[in-house]
Each structure stands twice: as structure tokens, then as C-alpha cells.
Amino acid sequence: MEHRIIKGAIGMLGAWLALVGVDGRSLAAGVEVNRIDDVVVRAEAESSAMDDRVPEEDIPRPGVSDTVLDAMKNLPGVQFKRTAVAGNENGKLRIRGFDETRLRIMKDGIPVHRDGSYGNGPVDWSTLPADAVESIEIYRGAGPAKFGNALGGVVNIVTKKPGDTPRTSITSLYGSMTTTMNSITHSGKKGAVGWVLSGGRYDTDGWLRNNFVEQNRASGELSVKMPFGTELGAGFSWSDQETGMPVMNGPGTPHYNSGDPDADGRELGGPGITYRLKDGFSAWGNRSFSEDENLSFNTWIAKAFDKGSARVDFRTWRQDKREVYYDAADASKRIYERETDAEPDNWSLNLAIEKEISSHRIEAGAESRSHGWGDQTVTYIDETYFNGSINSPFFAFIREGFKGKSDSIKYHALYLQDHWQINPALDLQIGVRQEWFKADSIDPDAFGFVWSTPVTQLDESNLDPRLRLGYRPWANGVFHLAFNVAHRYPTSPEYFWWYLNNGTGFFNTGFNSEKALQYEFSYEHTVADTAKLMVRSYYYEVDDYIASNFVAGTGNVFYNIDQVTLKGAEIGIAVDLSWHLSTFANLTCQRGDKEGDPWDSNNVLEGQIPDFPETMANVGLDYKLDDRVSAHLTLNYVGGREHLNGAGLKRLGSYTLVNCAAEWKVWQKQNRSLSLKLAAENLFDTDYEEEAGYPMPGATLIAGMALAF
């Protein structure tokens, strides 16, 4: 199969190189055509009401989380599902109910997903700090064929690029929960060479008991302009983060601390040990932590030619993890320790070609990636804290760890799309994406016991069409209509745990990839360049939706729900007012229904999908004076949600947050400036939870200064 894929990719590449006129003879002859300053193939969506863009001036507003996620909290359809404001978490971001495994998170057009092995999240947000970001582009739904298997949408983080003048910025902030943030970024150009370097340190005591975070990070990028309109580049991203394991804390629990919020305990690694401990979540206490080191490298070559460009990107990454648990009664006594090679040199390769031909913009490309997990080694265990289950073959991994499996999942894709400007009032975007997915069978040694069921694997290919029509009946308004077919394939941990539990004869004996049919309609209207109105509606049908639950005594269980339906509408308005003021408001009304859920067979959720607010709203007022003074006041409302806790139901209440931020450039001269920054979140000290069992902070404050020169 891979041989056919390679031949197909070479054939497509050759055909498109011939089409755009880039062949070996022109390169050998040294022909230089249409040289441009920066060659960057990004995930930029066509301007429409389906898209959002967070500009640079909105991104550096400070917050106690030190993450670029905060810049998206005022957008319609965006939901956070966090257990803490910072640290190692699974699935923080949701768009239209889809979590990060169903989104396409990109950095300068290149996917930055990891596979989430050993309990890690799909995206390492610590390597995407706000101070290194120029803008954020959000495209909703599956989108054009080039975006791939993104059911909920695409988030493209556009990083700052070097300018002709060297630039350095230093930021230092201090705030609630003993939070400190210090960062430095430097960029510049000299001749054909450009560079961007960034580094920072983040510390916080956290809100929950023993949920501190200590993080160091660094990143860099170097680009060189070559003859014939070619650019070469390379970069790296590194973070080392130690996060305290949230400790079970509540009345009636052992070692209860009334000075900390009542909250559930939480492991920050996997596979879980909680139900193998005699005292469960109550067994570990303060000082228990998880340490993650993430390192990625990327390199690219890009070529500009007449009315087009081509680019090849290669990215590889790895993650090393260490977990240490201490006794709840004696924080000096170690219970358990293990080290994990969570993602060992996983990689991705992307090719993108773009060419304008008359009224057509033709895009073609290919993508290939490989995911797998590494070994897990138990370096210390005090078996007196564990129950007898660790002596069974099924749970031998508690004492012995896991055997890794590199290249467990392989994914390849080719795409072709055409954006055709039929006339000034009508444009058509049509595309197709061919995908191949393979998840290999798993060696029984990975489980530590003899595998008793037939070896199986997932091996499939899908051809997904994409269609989008834009119509501008008058100068100030535009309609868009879209239809997409998209597939979403299991991640390594989803496939691993299904494979394991399938061998136990559990109910989840079949496992399929997801198939989504997506319908979208939108209208956007501008009034006299001072106001913009947006209306969106969507309807998604997802067959074989992959869901999970934690079963005591068994572990994570993954299975398919026959069908999940998501539908909703988003309405927004933005207005420029007098006196340097502007305002915005948006409302999201949505509903998620499901049929054929084998876990919720008694229909406790009454057909609804869990943790899905049916109503969300955001309102804001901004003030800006001559680029020297800015202030922002926002209100975020999230409606109530139904949470399925095992076989029971818990209602999460609605909440409203009021936040403000301000910046004052107290000194400015040419490129140099000194700014004071201030932000306050949850001004009215609202009690709320984004994830059941984990209260979020009350009112918080952070302030500091930024120096640029």
C-alpha cells in the first residue's frame, strides 16, 4: 500500500510541478522568477463569516494561565474544559463541542498534534506562548481539502517573523497564586538570514491543592534566502514542565485541608494506578508531581515562482515523562515512580503547492505522519500501598511498565482543490482528499501477558469531497454555503485501550473510525465600515463517534457511539463607536444528540452528549487611544452542562465571568517602548467548574511591564 502511496505522491508532484512550470531545466538554468520576501504556506482560510482571526494586539493581554488559549475565549462556539488554569491537561480546547483530537491545531500551517500516549494531551500548549504569536486564525468545520481530518475546525497559530530591524521584547508579570511570568523574544535579519529566538519561565502555586507548575521553555527559528526564490529554514521548540498532581481534598477525606478548594484528585500520567492503590485517590499527597520534557524540530524548503509557491515541511518530536507519588500522610515517603518515553521521535511530512491560473487558485499537496509510543519503566514501587490486583497478569504493568511500539499508526493523504472566482459576485471552492490510515496489531508483550484474542488491525482508505460556495449579492454582504465529508481516525491511546479491553470480552468488540457529514451556512454584512454582523448555522452528523469512559477495575474503555448529531447557530456583531471605543457581542446556541451509546444504554443523558453547553455568550467593550493606552472589559457566559460520572449524572451549573485588562505605554520613542500591563479575571469571584470535580479560581489579578527595543 505504501508503495502505491509513494508512487501516487510522486506522480501528483510531477504533474503539478509541470503545471506551474517548475522543472529541472528551469532550476538548472538558474531562472529566478517572482522572488518574494517570505515564503510561508499557512492554513489561511478564505475571508468569510465561517472564520475568525484574533489580531496581534489582542493576544498579549496577560492572564494567570500564560497560554495563547486565553486569546480565543471571546470567540463564538469556543469552550474550555480544564481542570486547572495551567499545567498538564487533556483536551483543554473545544470548538462546537469537538475536542482537540477532532481539531487541527497548527503552527504556521504545520500540524503540532502529538498522539496523547500515556495520558498526555493531544497538544502541548506550553510550547505556544502568547508573546511569540502574531495572530490566530480559526476556520470552522472540516474546511478545504488541505486541512485534513478536522471535524471541528482549524486553529492556526501564526508566529512572529523577523523584520528588517532587530527587535527585542522583555516581559515580566506577577499575580495571584504567586504566579510569575518572565519571557524574552529577539528577532532580526542580516542579509539573507533571519532569526527569531524566544525563552521564558512560568511559575504558579496553582488553585487546587498541590497543583503547582514550574515551567521553562525556549524556541528558535532560522531562515536563509537562497538563489532562485528559494528559502531554507529550521526551528526547534522545547519545554520542561513540572506539575503537581492535584490531591483529593474534601470533608471526610483523609488529611483534608480546609484552606484549599474541595476537589477530586487527578493523575497526570498514564496508565492510571489509582484503582490499584489500597486508598485510591486518597493515597498520594503533597509533592506528588509529573514532569514533562517536550522537544520538537522542524525544517522546511520553500520555492516562490510566478503566481505560486511550493513548500515541504518536516517535523519530528519527542516527549519524556516522569511521575513521582508521595504518601498523603508523610510527604517525605515515596510510594511510586516511573519514567516514560511517551512519544519517541514521532514525525510528520507535509507538501503544499499553490498556483494561480487565470481565475483559479489551484492547491495540491501531500501529508504523511507516523505515531507510536515508547517504553515505560517503573523505577520504584512500594507494594504495601497497592492491593492484590497488581499480582494479576492483567495489571502487571503497574510493577513492570509497558513495552513501547514505534510506528504503531501511519497516516498518508493527498489533496487537490480549486478556488474558482467565477465572477465578482460568485466563487466556488471544490476539493477532494484521499486518506490512508493503518493501525498495526499490538504485541502481547506490551501488556505483559499472553494475548488470547485474534490479532487485528485497522486498515482503511477514504476519499472525502469538500464543497464551498460564496455569493456576494451586494457590496456589503456575502453568503457562504458548505458541504464536507471528513473522517477522523483513532489515536494511539484510543486504539491501544480498545485493543486491550477487546481481549477481555468487554462490550466494545468493534471499533471504527468516525465519518462526518457537515453542512454549513453563513452570512456576513458590513455597514459603512463601522459595524459587522455575522450569522452562522451548522449541522453535523458523525457516525461511529469514538467515546470513552473510565471503568473501575478495568481502566479506560473506548468504543463507538452509532451516531452523534451536532447542530447550532452563532450570531455576532462588532461595532466601532465614537470616543475611541468599540464593542462586540456574540451568542452561540447549540445542541448535541446521540443514538446507540452502548455505555449509556439506559439513556441517562436522554440522548444528549455530555459536557456540552447549549448556550454560550460573550460581550466586550474596548478602548484604544493612539496605540498608547488600551483597555478591555469582557463578559463570558457558559450555560449548564450534563456530566456523566460513571453511570450517574451530575449537573454542572451555568456561570458568568467578568474580566478586564489594560495596557499603558508610559514611554515610547521610535521602536522602543515601556508598557505597564494589568489584567483581572473573574472579577465577581464566581464559583464555577469547567470540568466536573475541579473548581476554577476565584478573582485573580496579574500585573507587570513589557520593554521593547
In degrees, to the nearest 5, what angle opens at C-alpha 660 toward C-alphas 657 and 666? Answer: 170
Q: Which comes out higher in pLDDT, residue 670 or 443? A: 670
Mean pLDDT of 71-75: 91
Examine the pLDDT at 499 and tell me if it is beyond 70.
yes
pLDDT recorded at residue 506: 67
In degrees, to the nearest 5, what angle opens at C-alpha 594 toward C-alphas 592 and 600? Answer: 120
Mean residue pLDDT across the chain: 87
Which one of 59-63, 148-152, 582-586 scores highest in mean pLDDT? Answer: 582-586
Percentage of the chain lying above the pLDDT 90 cut:
64
* Separation of CA 575 from chain center: 30
Quote the CA–CA distance of 14 and 362 in Å, as a whole number. Answer: 15
- Helix, coil or strand: residue 28: helix
Per-residue pLDDT of 251-298, as tens digits, reads 988 889 999 999 999 999 888 899 899 999 999 999 999 999 999 999
C-alpha cell belonging to residue 639: 450555560
| CA Rg value for the chain | 26
Per-residue pLDDT of 95-117, as tens digits, reads 999 999 999 999 998 899 888 88
pLDDT recorded at residue 46: 42
Residue 332 dihedral angles phi and psi, to the nearest 5°: -90, -10
pLDDT recorded at residue 545: 94
Examine the pLDDT at 44 and tell me if it is beyond 50.
no
Per-residue pLDDT of 317-359, as tens digits, reads 999 999 999 999 999 999 999 999 999 889 999 999 999 999 9
Quote the CA–CA distance of 316 and 349 in Å, as a whole number. Answer: 9
Q: Omega into 271 within 30° of 0, i.e. cis?
A: yes
Quote the CA–CA distance of 135 and 689 in Å, as a whole number. Answer: 29
pLDDT recorded at residue 63: 83
Cell 469538500 belongs to 466
DSSP-assigned beta bridge partners for residue 631 = 623, 662
pLDDT recorded at residue 14: 41
Nearest CA-CA partner of 407 in 448, 446, 438, 367: 438
- pLDDT-derived band at 43 (thresholds 50, 70, 90) equals very low
Examine the pLDDT at 142 and tell me if it is beyond 90.
no
Query: In this predicted structure, which of 72-86, 581-595, 599-613 has the lowest mean pLDDT?
Result: 599-613
* Separation of CA 506 from chain center: 31
Quote the CA–CA distance of 171 and 677 in Å, as a whole number. Answer: 9
pLDDT recorded at residue 504: 66
pLDDT recorded at residue 49: 42
pLDDT recorded at residue 10: 35
pLDDT recorded at residue 681: 95
- pLDDT-derived band at 315 (thresholds 50, 70, 90) equals very high
CA atoms 101, 134, 136, 76: torsion sign: positive
Per-residue pLDDT of 172-185, as tens digits, reads 999 999 999 999 99
Nearest CA-CA partner of 71 in 122, 151, 129, 152: 129
Residue 57 dihedral angles phi and psi, to the nearest 5°: -70, -20
Q: What is the DSSP string of 394-433?
A: GGTHHHH-B--EEEEEEEEEEEEEEEEEEETTEEEEEEEE
Cell 523584520 belongs to 163
CA atoms 313, 308, 361, 25: torsion sign: negative
Quote the CA–CA distance of 45 and 460 in Å, as a whole number. Answer: 29
Quote the CA–CA distance of 245 and 268 in Å, as a whole number. Answer: 6
Q: Which comes out higher in pLDDT, residue 677 or 129? A: 677
pLDDT recorded at residue 478: 95
CA atoms within 13 A on the CB side of 52: 28
DSSP state of 82: -
Quote the CA–CA distance of 104 and 123 in Å, as a whole number. Answer: 10
Domain extent, residue 423, equals 2-708
Instruction: Please state the domain count of the chain.
Output: 1
- Helix, coil or strand: residue 329: coil
Q: Which residues are CB-neighbours of 570 under 8 A, at least 6 positions away?
A: 76, 77, 534, 535, 536, 537, 586, 587, 588
Q: Which residues are CB-neighbours of 488 under 8 A, at least 6 positions away?
A: 101, 102, 149, 151, 513, 514, 516, 546
Which one of 82-86, 177-181, 597-601, 626-630 scores highest in mean pLDDT? Answer: 177-181
pLDDT recorded at residue 126: 79
Q: What is the CATH number of the domain that holds 616?
A: 2.40.170.20
Per-residue pLDDT of 558-584, as tens digits, reads 889 999 999 999 999 999 998 899 999
* Separation of CA 232 from chain center: 27
- Helix, coil or strand: residue 530: coil
Can you give the pTM of this predicted structure?
A: 0.89
pLDDT recorded at residue 386: 96
The CA dihedral of 127, 129, 134, 140, to the nearest 10 degrees, is 70
CA dist 266 → 270, 331, 557, 694 (Å):
11, 17, 18, 9
CB atoms within 10 A of CB 671: 12
